[in-house]
Chains A and B, each alone.
Chain A
């Protein structure tokens, strides 16, 4: 992979700093409103760079770290489309966190939908300047020129200049403020299948992840944290640890968790194995007495159950649900629950930092947002941002975890203390037991079947800890968490209930939580979509038809359901002993609907086939959309059928992949994926495929066995 990791080096190599065209995109420089680490915020803007050297080298900046979702290719594709260059002829470099690149956070499935307009403008602006430069040379009108494959052509004479030949002139021109964008029908790259540029390096072992970074004279560190996460360090005995050959230092470091800080103990050695081995010989005394709130998952579930018996804080209300519920005869209710989950990215969190004697610092790390990393690093060391150099690396998975950069802060602190470059790698056990985790949540669902067996009224009480509340203490007791409220609103699900009620009950816990692929949608789709089925069955309706009735005013969603129906109709008739369930959920501005087919084999439930549809509007590369949807099926099934995270006696019970299982290849069902094609605005791709998976499975199991499961995870060996 031709990735130059350091923009300064790149400029040196290409001689670009003196003579190239570096285009800032006008109008995008204005201060952005960026909610810090907002996993859900939409419409983030950026200010990208197109760099062309006189020798013809074209370099595009990818401002969104690639954790597997394909931004390494998707971001440059959007620029290249309008710039009229083909992807195999460009260099791609990562942005370094500086403000001219705008928000650089991979998260909230925001990359393509957030950058679509501005990146196309970035490409189109550069193209117009290059065309103008050529027109000036030929003394013709720009209208007599066109750009194609890195060259500008004269329509009349067929003469051409390469972009490299034009760039010096172009760089002296005024930057057009309103470049003309291509019509969708003119797209050559966007919406078309393309092989990923990062794949070859990922099959030869050459791809460089954070954990692979090597800095001369670097030391390796393992950090050990309080099992309760928030515990205070009382004392430690490092005699045995220090006796391990290669160990250089045993010391403490600041360690942050959501909403607070404590100390961790670090072993720093000249090789990682020595640090790892020594870390197991540490004898550490922790004190949990100051922790407020429960660090016991059973207690948290009991607290949520108690909260379900009291009204929550109202988020949305159409009609008087409670009065109608009390007066109606045909009502139903159910309490749904989802567990804590680990992100368990296969690359454990790690970071390398070098705090230098001149007071500057360089960081190499698999992080979701170099802009946030730049700011946090400067703040941590109390230095100006100009003294910080952030090198984002490839991420070996993340799913939200590596947007919370407490591991990076440790590397910086340790490098400063030992005055050498330090790479911290959390052992899998620390990665898994420290979280922060996908929160466990409950949904209290209530419904009313009206006259004519209509699904008349619907109430969802969301219950559990708030991510925003735990991290930033930003949730006032009288207000519903707005991420949750948005996710579960009528505006989002579009089910046309005449009477609708949505509320939230915050239940605190000291177990640390964080956004996890699809955030709350992964929790609450379970209750919402299983309960829609419950209501449909109670009303004697087919669940798919019942949804279509409810979505009668939402044509785009009806299209998705129609497509699902026709795909299922095209399959061979379900064999005896098989059944199917469906679910749908909108998240990150995309709709995804799924059907799961299950069978009973030797008394156990087997997942046979998963059909998923995603409507994400315009997209970059159908194969990347498909890959993300496949990934969401696997992660959604894992979340549904594998054990969750539990805390007992102030510590996490699961420590590694032996006690925290994830789906493996032998369990992989057949998949069939369809991407809706339309010209709607781009929606998210990395997450929306996940939420409907668990409820489609739960609904399938009900259809197979008659057993209504309301608690995840499901034990497939032990259902009715």
Chain B
């Protein structure tokens, strides 16, 4: 079986897997990070969203063979640290977004990528960027609010620097 070198949340892993194994299953079952979720397996729900070099990617639809080995992969476990949460995670807590919570790793990874690209998103930006992430529990209203409050807290931090 082919071997792959992965850098996940700044740590290096070597895994042995079939070339067509989606990154999702490599991360969950071989690297052992379970925060990234399976929902549809066909890039329809966003539960598996991670960052590859900062870009939000549906890991269920990215085979290992598509990786070059140099990519920096970030999952929900690496987006903040338990001691210092990311501003988006803080906002998620302040707005009490999660219900079941299953979709929320993917929601947060999408929101972090959105704010990295567009620090002050308009409603339309949020709608367009976040509509790839399904929340069956229906937390959309709070997601919108949390993104806006994360955006304004990030901007404030930026201004203080």
Residues on A facing B (Cβ under 8 Å): 66-70, 195-196, 198-209, 211-212, 214, 220, 245-246, 271-274, 276-277, 344-348, 394-399, 425, 427-428, 623, 627-628, 630-635, 656-658, 662-666, 668, 671
Q: Does B143 belong to the interface (CB within 8 Å)? A: yes
Kindly list chain B residues whose C-beta atoms are within 8 Å of the C-beta of A635.
136, 138
Known contacts A347-B37, A631-B138, A634-B140, A68 near B25 by CB under 8 Å: no
Instruction: Give the chain A neighbours of B143 by CB distance below 8 A.
Output: 665
Of the candidates B28, B89, B135, the one having the most CB atoms from chain A within 10 angstroms of its own CB is: B135
A631-B99 CB under 8 A given contacts A656-B40, A656-B42: yes
Tell me the chain B residues, 67-90 only, with Cβ under 8 Å from chain A: 75-77, 80, 82, 85, 89
Residues of A within 8 Å of B97, CB to CB, are 199, 203
The reply to whether B141 and A666 form a contact with Cβ atoms under 8 Å apart is: no
Q: How far, in Å, is A601 (CB) from chain B's closest CB?
A: 14
What 0/1 pattern do residues 20 to 62 of B give for CB contact below 8 A with A? 1110010011101111111111101101000000000000000
Give Cα distance in the complex from A206 to B79, angstroms: 13
User: With the chains together, A628 CA to B98 CA distance in Å?
Assistant: 11
Q: Which residues of B contact A668 (CB under 8 A)?
A: 140-141, 144
Q: Complex Cα distance A196/B33, Å?
A: 24
Bound CA span A633–B142, Å: 13
> Which single member of A68, A209, A662 contacts B99 (CB below 8 Å)?
A68
Tell whether, in the assembled complex, residue A345 and residue B136 are in contact, meaning their CB atoms are under 8 Å apart.
yes
Of A205, A344, A658, A664, the contact of B33 (CB 8 Å cutoff) = A205
- A202 partner residues in chain B, CB cutoff 8 A: 98, 101, 104
Contacts of A208 in B (CB 8 A): 34
Output the least CB separation between A604 and chain B (Å): 16
- Of B36, B99, B128, the residue contacting A69 (CB under 8 A) is B99
A-facing residues in B126-150 (Cβ within 8 Å): 126-128, 130-144
Q: How far, in whole Å, are A565 and B41 apart by their CA atoms in the complex?
A: 45
Q: Which of A209, A348, A628, A657 has the most CB of B within 10 A?
A: A657
A204 in contact with B138 (CB, 8 Å): no
Point out the residue from B1, B29, B41, B126 that lies within 8 Å of A428, measured CB to CB. B41
| Interchain residue pairs with CB less than 8 A apart (8) | A199-B93, A205-B36, A207-B101, A209-B102, A271-B17, A272-B28, A428-B40, A665-B133
Kindly state the separation between the CA atoms of A656 and B99 in the bound complex, as whole angstroms: 22
CB-CB under 8 A for A203 and B98, given A344-B136, A634-B138: yes
Instruction: Assess whether B18 is in contact with A273, with CB atoms less than 8 Å apart.
Output: yes
Q: Which of B100, B104, B105, B136 has the most CB of A within 10 A?
A: B100
Q: CB < 8 Å: which of B82, B126, B132, B136 contacts A397?
A: B136
Is B138 a contact partner of A348 (Cβ separation < 8 A)? no
Say yes or no: is B108 at the interface (Cβ < 8 Å to chain A). Answer: yes
A668 to B143, CA, bound (A): 11
* Interface residue from A195, A348, A399 paired with B39 (Cβ < 8 Å): A348
Interface centre among B1, B25, B85, B130 (most CB of A within 10 A): B25
CB pair B29 A220 closer than 8 Å: yes
Complex-state Cα separation, A634 to B22, whole angstroms: 31
Does B96 touch A at the CB level, under 8 Å?
A: yes
Give min CB distance, B91 to chain A, whole Å. 9
**Chain B positions within 8 Å of A623 at CB level:** 96
Q: How far is the CB of A169 from chain B (nearest CB, A)?
A: 39
Q: Which residues of A contact B96 (CB under 8 A)?
A: 195-196, 199, 623, 627
Closest to A196 in B: B96
Query: Could you say which of A207, A245, A272 contacts B29, with CB atoms under 8 Å apart?
Result: A272
Q: Cβ of B104: which chain A residues have Cβ within 8 Å of it? A: 202-203
Which residues of chain A come closer than 8 Å to B98, judged between CB atoms? Answer: 68, 196, 198-199, 202-203
A205→B76 contact, CB < 8 A: yes
The residue that B126 contacts in the complex, of A274, A344, A665, with Cβ under 8 A, is: A665
Contact A627 B99, beta carbon cutoff 8 Å: yes
B63 to chain A, nearest CB (A): 10
Q: Are B136 and A346 in contact (CB under 8 A)?
A: yes
Neighbouring A residues of B108 by C-beta, 8 Å:
203
Q: Is the CB of A273 within 8 A of B102?
A: no
Cβ of B71 to closest chain A Cβ, rounded Å: 19
- Tell me the complex Cα distance, A67–B17, Å: 33
CA of A274 to CA of B17, assembled, Å:
10
A397 touching B137 in the complex, CB below 8 Å, given contacts A277-B20, A665-B144: yes
* Chain A residues whose C-beta falls within 8 Å of the C-beta of B37 in the assembled complex: 209, 211, 346-347, 396
A214 to B31 alpha-carbon distance, docked (Å): 13
- 10 nearest CB pairs, A to B: A205-B35, A634-B138, A396-B102, A68-B100, A202-B101, A205-B76, A68-B99, A631-B138, A666-B127, A212-B34
Q: In whole angstroms, what is the CA distance A271 to B126 when docked?
A: 36
CB distance from A108 to the nearest CB of B (A): 18
Given that A196-B96, A272-B25, A656-B44 are known contacts, is A630 also in contact with B138, CB under 8 Å in the complex? Answer: yes
Q: What would 16 more interface pairs be, CB under 8 Å, given A204-B82, A245-B1, A346-B135?
A: A68-B137, A202-B101, A203-B98, A206-B77, A209-B37, A211-B38, A214-B34, A271-B17, A271-B29, A345-B100, A346-B47, A623-B96, A633-B138, A663-B138, A664-B133, A668-B144
Inter-chain contacts of A396 with B (CB < 8 A): 37, 100-103
Contact call B131/A664, Cβ cutoff below 8 A:
yes
B45 adjacent to A657 (CB under 8 Å)? yes
> Are B89 and A204 closer than 8 Å at their CB atoms?
yes
Q: Which A residues lie within 8 Å of B140 (CB)?
A: 634, 663-665, 668
Complex: A347 Cα to B130 Cα, angstroms: 19
Distance to closest chain B CB from A381 (angstroms): 27
**Residue contact A205 to B34, C-beta cutoff 8 Å:** yes
Chain A residues with CB under 8 Å of B17's CB are 271, 273
Q: In the complex, how many angstroms separate the beta carbon of A174 from the nearest chain B beta carbon?
A: 42
Interface centre among B1, B18, B141 (most CB of A within 10 A): B141
Bound Cα distance from A344 to B39, whole angstroms: 10
Chain B residues within an 8 Å CB radius of A630: 138-139, 141-142
* Closest residue of A by beta carbon distance from B24: A273
